[in-house]
Structures are given as structure tokens and as C-alpha cells.
Structure 1
């Protein structure tokens, strides 16, 4: 099963180096890698410095609201044109565990799971020391996010809650990708597009499965909770989602923003608007 790993990126150069070093350590390497560089020409030179096969695609982007959904679709389009039968999407912040590619391949080859969205457990790492993370020992830090299923390596379990899908690390066969139709490109910037994708998958009759061996390790970077740096994107995308699906996504974040005076309106039947100046 010809496999391509697709990563979209703008900045995060050291994170991409660690991701690609992880791909070089795989027990079963990917056949192809696709990096979609969103308005970041330096990524091509960075990727050329390692021994991975693949290409870097440069796409124009408004860096104030990166086209995450469209970039993933473009990466998939190119991967499929290059013969991919299995698409693995891996966030630029993620270091793949050694068994990630092999585990996704094994699940996709299993008739019980081949038609599902395949997701792997992700560990959120603490801030590293001056030397960075030791990629050779990254699995020793394994502590998957508690809000999502984390089967043991070698196990795959079906998932019922579509809201648990995340785009940090997932895989789909080429046939399933085409069945879903890709990400809806009406979202710009952070938030909502992966929840929408899970709804599209459900409407297409595509289930969700959690692949225990497809472990990844999310590298630390500065953030906030709720992610106030993305309030304008999240509010705008929440409106798009509600218009499409009749309900609000990211309800916890919207409520937190409203309590802080960063958005106006409610999270029920009212329109959620970005506060002036956002």
C-alpha cells in the first residue's frame, strides 16, 4: 500500500525538522512525503537537507488566516496524483513514534478498519531543555491526551464520538478520502475545519477508529487556554460551521471568549460575533 505523509506548515522550522527526523526512524518508512508550505519558501530548503523522498509545494497564503483546510486538500491531491493509496496527515508539531506509519498501514489493510478515519493517540510534550527533544527516546515520554482513546500498541478500537476526531494525526485510504470529499474550504485560520471534516465523514458513512500503535508526540510551543490569539478565526469559523450544521462547534472556547468580552452574542441561538478590533 503506497503511503504518503502530508504535512502543512508555515514557520515552525525546528518542529518540521524533528517531524522529518521521526519519519526517518520509522520501522516501516513512508513511500512519499508531501510538505505544503503556506507562504514559507524556506521550507523547501529545509526539507531538501534530509534523506526523505517527496516534494515541497509552495502555496500562497494570507498568514493572518492560514488556509488549513485548502492546504490539506492540496497536499492530498498531489499525493494521490503521485500514486498514494494511503494518506497520513501529520501536524507539523508532531514527532511520529517509530510505529506510526506501520500501524496506520496495518489498520488500513484490515477489512474491519480500511473504510474508517484512522486516528492515533497524541502525547502533548512539556517544554524541552536547551538541547531540544531526544528523538531516539521520545517514546519514553508517552502519555496520551486523556480526552481521547489511547489503545495499547497493536490494538485498534472503533470510536463513536465524531467530536473526538482531530487532524493532528490521522490516516485514510485513497478510496475513503474520495468518499468523504476532503475538507470544506470555507474555513480560514484556526478552528472548526477538522470538526466539519468529521461531520462530512459521518454523512458519507465513514466511521472512526483509534490506532494504538500510531503514536505521535506533540512538541511544545507557546499557547493560551482558551486560545485568545485565534479568537477572530474561531469566531468567524464558528459562524461558518453553524450555518452548515445548525449547531455551534468549539462551545467551550466560545463560552470562555464571551466571558472575557472577546466575542459578543451567545453560543445558543444567537449569532457569535467578533468583538470590535479583533
Structure 2
């Protein structure tokens, strides 16, 4: 089985370098590594690490929002053209645990779960010390996000709630990817496109499976809760999701925006609308 790691990149070069150092510590190295550089021409000149076989896919940005859904499809397309059997999507901020690659690969060989979207627990890390994170001791920092299942390393738990899917760390066989058909490229920027993909997967008969061995560690970076820096993207994508599925995604964020007076609607049948100029695209 040829396992290909796919990572989308726009900036975050230090995080990407750390991810590659962590990959090199894997109990099973990936067979291929596809980086999708979204409007980031520096990636091809500096990455991937020469000890990791791989390639860079250049994807220019059109408009103001990063094409995350389109980039995932482009990464998958390149990986499949290079012979991938298992597509392993890993967010640029995520450090793979030692057994992440091996854990996903083993799960993909298990007939009971191979046709599902394979998801791994993710720990959100505190800021690193002056020397950065100790990549040889990531397991000591293990504290998976409580909003998602976190099986023990020797467990795999099937799950059919598509709203629990996240794109930080997941794997899908080539056959299942083809059956689902990829991400909807009508989504641009941050938010909603991964929940939409899980709904498409459910329509295609592919639920989720949480793989305890496939642990990842999300490197710290400053953010806001709710993520007002992505307000315009989230409002646009929430309206698109509601038009496609009849329900609202990202409910906690939308509620947070309403409480801050930044949006109206986004519940029932009322569309989301911005009320503050900070939400307008630049």
C-alpha cells in the first residue's frame, strides 16, 4: 500500500519544517509527500525535505480567499497520479505522532473500516519553549481535543456523525476518495468545506472511523474564538452549506458572531449577513 501525505501550505514555513522533521521520526515513513502551495511560490524552492520523496503542486489564489477545497482536490489528484493507495491529509500545523502513518495504513487494511473516512485524535499544543517542541517526546503532551472521540492507540471506533469530521488529520483510500468525488470547490476560504465533504461521504455510504494510533499534535499559533479573522469566509460558506444541506454548520461560531453583533441570521431559514465592516473582504 502506497501511503501519500498531502499538506496544504500558505505561509507557516516553520510549522511545515517541524512537520517534516516529525514525519522523519515516524515508525513508518510515508511513501510520498504532496505539498499544495496555495499562492506561496517559496514552497517549491525550500520543501519538501530531500529525505522525504515528494512533489509540490502550485495553486495560485484567485480572489481574496484561499482555495482550500480546490487545493485538497488538487493534492489528491497529484497523489493518485503518482500511484497513491491511501491519501493521508495532514494540516500544515499538525505534527504527526510516531505511529500516525502506520496507524492509518493499518486501519486502511482492516476490511471493517477501510471504506470509511479514517480520522485521528488531535492534541492542541501550548506555545513551545525557546527550543521548540521536543519531537521525540510528543506522546508526553498527549491530550486530545475533547470535542472528538479519542480511542486508545490500539482501538478503532466507527462513527456515523458527519459533523465530527475534521480535515486536520484524516485518511481515505483511493477507492473511497473516487466514490465520494472530492471536496465541493464552491467553498472558498475557511470553514464548512470539511463538514460538507463528510456529508458527501455519508451519501456515498462512507461513515467515519476514529483511529487511536493516528495521533497528531497541533502546533500553537495565535487565534481568536470565535475566529473573527475568518468571518467573511465563514458567513459565505455557511450560507452555501445551508443551501446545499438545509442545516447550518459551525453553529458555535455563528452564535458567537451573533453575540458580538457581527452577523444577523444563520439560524432557521434566515440567511447569514454581515453587520460589521471588519467582516468585508479586503
Q: TM-score range by the shorter chain?
A: over 0.9
Matched, 1:275 2:266: no
1:40 matched residue in structure 2: 40
Offset from partner CA, 1:70-116 (integer Å, 9 cap, x none): 00000000000000000000000000001001110000001101101
2:229 matched residue in structure 1: 229
Is the 8 Å Cα contact of residues 35 and 48 (structure 2) preserved in structure 1? no
**2: distance between equivalents of 1:20 and 1:118?**
21
**2: distance between equivalents of 1:63 and 1:43?**
20
1:257 matched residue in structure 2: 257
1:154 deviates by: 1.8
**2: distance between equivalents of 1:5 and 1:272?**
35
Structure 2 gap segments, 5+ residues each: none
Change in CA separation of 1:87 and 1:49 when aligned onto 2, cut-off 3 Å? closer
1:276 deviates by: 4.5
**1: distance between equivalents of 2:230 and 2:30?**
33
Change in CA separation of 1:154 and 1:175 when aligned onto 2, cut-off 3 Å? same
How many residues matched? Answer: 278
Is the 8 Å Cα contact of residues 236 and 274 (structure 1) preserved in structure 2? no
1:212 matched residue in structure 2: 212
**2: distance between equivalents of 1:234 and 1:13?**
25
What SS does the aligned partner of 1:126 have?
A: coil
2:56 matched residue in structure 1: 56
Structure 1 gap segments, 5+ residues each: none
Change in CA separation of 1:185 and 1:266 when aligned onto 2, cut-off 3 Å? closer
**1: distance between equivalents of 2:165 and 2:81?**
26
**2: distance between equivalents of 1:49 and 1:194?**
28
Offset from partner CA, 1:187-216 (integer Å, 9 cap, x none): 111100000000000000101100000000
2:248 matched residue in structure 1: 248
Q: Which moved more, 1:60-69 or 1:225-234?
A: 60-69
Is the 8 Å Cα contact of residues 20 and 49 (structure 2) preserved in structure 1? no
Offset from partner CA, 1:5-52 (integer Å, 9 cap, x none): 000010000100111111111111110000000011111222144411
Runs of 4+ aligned structure 1 residues displaced above 6 Å come to none
1:138 matched residue in structure 2: 138
**1: distance between equivalents of 2:48 and 2:92?**
16
Is the 8 Å Cα contact of residues 239 and 266 (structure 2) preserved in structure 1? no
1:12 matched residue in structure 2: 12
1:265 deviates by: 2.4
Change in CA separation of 1:49 and 1:106 when aligned onto 2, cut-off 3 Å? closer
1:198 matched residue in structure 2: 198
Is the 8 Å Cα contact of residues 255 and 267 (structure 1) preserved in structure 2? no
Q: Which moved more, 1:49-58 or 1:26-35?
A: 49-58
Change in CA separation of 1:109 and 1:117 when aligned onto 2, cut-off 3 Å? same
Q: Which moved more, 1:43-52 or 1:67-76?
A: 43-52
CA RMSD of aligned residues (A): 1.1
1:23 matched residue in structure 2: 23
**1: distance between equivalents of 2:91 and 2:49?**
20
1:123 matched residue in structure 2: 123
- Superposition TM-score, scaled by structure 2 size: 0.96
- Superposition TM-score, scaled by structure 1 size: 0.98
What SS does the aligned partner of 1:37 have?
A: strand
**1: distance between equivalents of 2:64 and 2:53?**
31
Is the 8 Å Cα contact of residues 238 and 248 (structure 1) preserved in structure 2? yes
Is the 8 Å Cα contact of residues 169 and 216 (structure 1) preserved in structure 2? yes
Offset from partner CA, 1:204-236 (integer Å, 9 cap, x none): 010110000000000000001100111100000
